[in-house]
Amino acid sequence: MGERGSAPAEFVLVSALLVAVTLGMLQVIFVGYVRHTLTSAAAEGARQASLVDVSASQAVVATKALITESLSPRYAQGVAVARSQTLGVPTIEVIIRAPYPQLGLWSVGGTLEVRAHAPYEYVP
């Protein structure tokens, strides 16, 4: 007799926990999707920038266009192109800094940074 009516209370407790776990999983999936998309855009931008007849500003524009089409313009604000060396080979590096995505009312906060390299094509 003492447990009568406890089903609604248990339902509320369990459903609140399931909603929190589901939202957490969706947040992790969304962050992974954004990171993958930014990495792909950075790789394509680095490939574009490594070509002889493409300037760094053209590669930035192409990278920003890819990010804007795939995600949102707010993720395309921090795109930079620089020359670097990887294992002694001259490369072009594209760096994208974007905010972590927010799902619902909460986010992990901070800035997500991805980098991509491509061998620099040059005419001797």
Per-residue pLDDT tens digits for 78-118 = 999 999 888 888 999 999 999 988 877 667 778 999 999 99
Which H/E stretch holds residue 22?
Answer: helix 6-49
Cβ-Cβ contacts under 8 Å for 25 (sequence gap 6 or more): none
**Structural contact between residues 2 and 79, judged by C-beta atoms closer than 8 angstroms:** no
Q: Decide if 51 is inside a domain.
A: yes
Tokens of 67: 């990010």
Mean pLDDT of the chain: 89
Domain of residue 54, residue span: 6-119
- Asked whether residue 124 is assigned to any structural domain, the reply reads no
> Tokens 């490369």 map to which residue?
91
Asked whether residue 21 is domain-assigned, the answer is: yes
Length of the chain: 124
1 occurs within a structural domain: no
| The model's pTM | 0.84
**38 lies in some domain:** yes
Indicate whether 43 belongs to any domain: yes
Task: Say how many domains are in the chain.
Answer: 1
The rounded distance, in Å, linking the Cα atoms of 20 and 23 is: 5
